[in-house]
Amino acid sequence: METKAEIIIEDGKVINVILKDVAGHKPLELNKSKAFKEFVETFSDQIVQRWVDYFIYHKSVKCIKVEGKIK
């Protein structure tokens, strides 16, 4: 199972997270899909900043380990 998250940015701010199916894969189950979206929404600013650092500024980006529940 696989689902992708698209982070929508407007004027430099995250305004929405949209979940989309991945061709050739079954989507996540509803409860896992909701948890995935909540996770991405919670960490969206950090995800975007690390993406920009890596792909735009070619900085070294360290992985972080997220533990525990979001709420």
On whether residue 16 sits in a domain, the answer given is yes
**Distance, CA of 67 to CA of 26 (rounded, Å):** 26
- Region of 12 on the Ramachandran plot (φ > 0 left; ψ -120 to 50 alpha; else beta): left
On whether residue 19 sits in a domain, the answer given is yes
On whether residue 62 sits in a domain, the answer given is no
**Distance, CA of 56 to CA of 59 (rounded, Å):** 8
On whether residue 11 sits in a domain, the answer given is yes
How many domains does the chain contain in total? 1
pLDDT at 71 over 70: no
Tell me the residue range of the domain where 11 lies: 3-55
On whether residue 71 sits in a domain, the answer given is no
Tell me the pLDDT tens digit for each residue of 36-61. Answer: 999 999 999 999 999 999 999 999 99
On whether residue 60 sits in a domain, the answer given is no
Q: Which amino acid makes up residue 28?
A: L
Mean pLDDT of the 12-35 span: 96
Q: With cut-offs at 50, 70 and 90, classify the pLDDT of residue 68.
A: confident
On whether residue 32 sits in a domain, the answer given is yes
